[in-house]
Amino acid sequence: MAVPKRKTSPSKRGMRRSADALSAPTYVEDKNSGELRRPHHIDLKTGMYRGKQVLKVKDNA
């Protein structure tokens, strides 16, 4: 069985465990539509990103 050669210091242990903390995803209010969206993501309903039209909006008929 593998055994560690050295004891893991509290600092290294804390650095490893820092990724274990889960945070809620952040949302921002869209300036144009007022709906919530993720920051730095394209608004899929309007197809806008940073004030520019990036995607074509499909018609739901």
Flag whether pLDDT at 61 surpasses 80.
no
Dihedral sign, Cα of residue 32, residue 35, residue 38, residue 42 = negative
Q: What is the DSSP string of 3-53?
A: --SSPPPHHHHHHHHGGG---PPP-EE-TTT--EE-TTS-BTTTTEETTEE
Any domain includes 20: no
pLDDT in tens, 13-52: 999 999 898 888 899 998 878 889 899 998 888 888 888 9
Domain extent at residue 29? 25-56
Any domain includes 12: no
Any domain includes 39: yes
Specify the number of domains making up the chain: 1
Any domain includes 5: no
Q: In whole angstroms, give the CA distance from residue 16 to residue 38.
A: 27
pTM of the model: 0.54
Any domain includes 47: yes
